[in-house]
C-alpha cells in the first residue's frame, strides 16, 4: 500500500482516539512520502496513551502540514521524497506495524549510506514545525533535582566535575538526615502552586520515600520507582533469559520480541482503573532501554531522559540508589532469585554522570534559560546548583542547607 491509497478502514485496528484523530486528517496523510508517513503513524498508533505534551507536539506537526500549500509541503518534505527505497518496502504493513517498517527502513538507509540525509530531513522537519508553532510559555520555572550517592561513604572521587563549571559548588551543605524529605517537601509545594497531570515527577532507583498528603503514580505526583517495578522486571527478565539461553540467539528476533510485549504480559495495567499512559511509559522504559532491566542507575537515568522528553514536567526529582555489580548476563537476569551484590562506589560514579545528563536534557526544553537544577550528594555536605543568580564555575564556602538552596530556586 502507498499513502495515497489510505482509507478510514485502514486504521480500524487503532485505539479509539487515534482512529478519530487519523480519520480527520486522512487527506494530509495521503499526500506524504512513504518514507515519512509511517514515522507519524508510529506516534499516532499510541496516541491514546501519550502524555499531554506529546499530543501537543504531534498535533503541532499536523497543524503545520495543514497550513502548507501543496508546493510548500513538497519543498518541506523533499528530503524524505528523495530517499531511494527498496521496491518491496511498500508491501510491509506500515499502517499497523509502523515500528517494524521503521526498523527495516533504518537498516536499508544505513546499507545505502542515506541515513545522514534521512536524519537531516527529520531534524529540519521538526525545526520548521516548531518555528511555525512555538511552545507556549511555561507557567513556572522548571526545576530539576538529582540526589546521588545513597549508601555511599566518604569518597576521593571528585563529584560534579561536569556540573561545577556550569554553576556554584557548595562544599558545606548541612549533613541532614532529612535531606530527602526536605527535597520532597519542596516538590509538594510546587505541586500545590502548579497542579496538573504529569507536571511533577519523582523517580527513585530504590524504594520511594513518602510524600505526605499527595497522591502518587498518575495523581498529583507522577512516581516511578525501581522497587515498585520489581515484579514487572522479574517477568521481563525471565523472558529475556530464555531468549539469551536459546541454542541460537537472534538479536533481531529478540528486539522484535521486546517491542511486541504488552503491559499486562509483565504485570502492568492489571487494574481497570490503572493509569494506562503511565503503565505504557514504564513498559517502554524496560523494553526499549538498554540495561534498564538490570541496573537501577541506568533505569533512573533513562527514566529521567524519557520523562523530560515526553512529559516535559515542571519538576523532576531523581534519586539514584546502589545498583548491582556487573556480572555475566545470565546472572544479571536472575536478580529476583538471589541476593544482590551491590556496588555503592561504582553507583556513585554512574549517578554523578546521570545528574549531568539530567541537567543536559532539561536544558533542551522550553524555558531553559530560567530553569534551575540542584544536585546533592545524599547524606553528605556537597551540592551544586546551576541556575540564574548562581555564578558559573564558582565555589561558595558559606555554610548552607538544602532548604535554603531550594528556596532560592523556587
Measure the CA–CA gap between 46 and 17, rounded to whole angstroms: 9
What average pLDDT does range 378-400 have in this prediction? 95
Q: Specify the DSSP element, H or E, that contains 147.
A: strand 143-148
Any idea what DSSP says for residue 208? P
**pLDDT computed for residue 337 by the predictor:** 54
What is the tens place of the pLDDT at every residue in 324-354? 876 555 555 566 655 677 888 889 999 999 9
* Percent of all residues in the chain with a pLDDT value above 70, rounded to a whole number: 90
**Reported confidence tier of residue 104, pLDDT bands at 50, 70, 90:** confident
Name the burial class of residue 300, with classes exposed (0-12), middle (13-18) and buried (19+) by CB atoms within 10 angstroms of its CB: buried
Residue 212 has pLDDT above 90, yes or no: no
What is the tens place of the pLDDT at every residue in 254-279? 777 777 788 888 888 655 456 889 99
**pLDDT computed for residue 237 by the predictor:** 85
Per-residue DSSP letters for 27-89?
HHHHTS-TTTHHHHHHHHTTGGG--HHHHHHHHHHHHHHHTS-HHHHHHHTHHHHTS---TTG
Q: Which residues pair with 324 in a beta bridge?
A: 342
Mean pLDDT rounded to a whole number for the chain:
89
**Cβ 227 vs Cβ 204: under 8 Å:** yes
Q: Which of 21-30, 42-51, 205-214, 300-309 has the lowest mean pLDDT?
A: 205-214
**pLDDT computed for residue 217 by the predictor:** 55
Measure the CA–CA gap between 150 and 81, rounded to whole angstroms: 51
Residue 32 has pLDDT above 60, yes or no: yes
**Cβ 196 vs Cβ 298: under 8 Å:** no
What is the tens place of the pLDDT at every residue in 58-88? 999 999 999 999 999 999 999 999 999 988 8
Q: Is the dihedral of CA 247, 250, 255, 261 positive or negative?
A: negative
Nearest to 104 by CA among 263, 310, 259: 259
**pLDDT computed for residue 170 by the predictor:** 97
Longest Cα separation, the chain: 69
**pLDDT computed for residue 168 by the predictor:** 98
Amino acid at each position: 500500500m502507498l499513502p495515497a491509497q489510505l482509507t478510514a478502514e485502514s486504521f480500524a485496528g487503532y485505539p479509539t482516539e487515534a482512529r478519530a484523530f487519523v480519520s480527520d486528517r486522512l487527506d494530509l496523510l495521503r499526500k506524504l512520502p512513504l518514507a515519512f508517513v509511517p514515522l507519524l503513524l508510529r506516534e499516532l498508533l499510541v496516541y491514546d496513551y501519550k502524555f499531554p505534551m506529546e499530543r501537543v507536539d504531534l498535533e503541532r506537526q499536523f497543524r503545520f502540514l495543514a497550513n502548507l500549500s501543496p508546493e510548500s509541503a513538497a519543498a518541506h518534505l523533499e528530503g524524505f521524497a528523495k530517499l531511494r527505497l527498496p521496491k518491496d518496502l511498500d508491501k510491509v504493513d506500515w499502517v499497523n506495524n509502523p515500528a517494524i517498517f521503521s526498523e527495516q527502513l533504518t537498516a536499508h538507509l544505513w546499507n545505502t549510506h542515506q541515513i545522514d540525509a534521512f536524519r537531516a530531513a527529520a531534524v529540519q522537519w521538526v525545526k520548521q514545525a516548531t518555528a511555525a508553532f512555538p511552545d507556549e510559555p511555561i507557567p513556572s520555572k522548571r526545576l530539576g533535582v538529582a540526589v546521588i550517592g545513597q549508601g555511599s561513604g566518604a569518597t576521593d572521587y571528585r563529584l560534579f566535575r561536569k556540573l561545577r563549571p556550569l554553576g556554584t559548588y557548595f562544599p558545606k551543605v548541612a549533613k541532614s538526615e532529612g535531606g530527602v524529605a526536605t527535597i520532597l517537601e519542596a516538590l509538594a509545594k510546587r505541586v500545590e502552586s502548579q497542579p496538573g497531570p504529569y507536571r511533577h515527577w519523582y523517580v527513585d532507583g530504590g524504594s520511594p520515600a513518602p510524600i505526605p498528603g499527595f497522591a502518587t503514580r498518575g495523581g498529583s505526583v507522577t512516581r516511578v520507582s525501581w522497587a515498585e517495578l520489581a515484579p514487572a522486571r522479574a517477568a521481563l527478565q525471565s523472558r529475556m533469559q530464555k531468549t539469551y539461553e536459546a541454542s541460537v540467539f537472534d538479536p533481531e528476533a529478540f528486539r522484535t520480541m521486546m517491542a511486541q510485549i504488552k503491559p499486562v504480559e509483565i504485570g502492568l495495567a492489571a487494574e481497570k482503573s490503572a493509569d494506562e499512559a503511565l503503565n505504557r511509559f514504564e513498559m517502554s522504559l524496560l523494553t526499549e532501554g538498554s540495561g534498564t532491566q538490570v541496573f537501577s542507575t541506568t533505569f533512573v537515568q533513562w527514566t529521567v531522559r524519557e520523562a523530560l522528553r515526553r512529559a516535559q514536567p515542571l519538576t523532576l526529582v531523581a534519586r539514584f540508589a546502589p545498583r548491582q555489580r556487573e556480572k555475566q548476563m545470565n546472572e544479571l537476569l536472575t536478580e529476583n532469585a538471589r541476593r544482590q551484590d551491590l556496588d555503592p562506589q561504582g553507583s556513585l560514579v554512574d549517578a554523578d554522570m546521570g545528574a549531568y545528563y539530567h541537567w543536559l536534557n532539561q536544558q533542551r526544553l522550553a524555558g531553559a534559560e530560567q530553569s534551575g537544577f540542584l544536585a546533592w550528594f545524599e547524606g553528605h555536605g556537597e551540592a551544586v546548583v546551576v541556575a540564574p543568580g548562581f555564578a558559573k564555575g564558582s565555589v561558595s564556602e558559606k555554610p548552607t542547607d538544602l532548604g535554603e538552596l531550594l528556596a532560592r530556586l523556587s
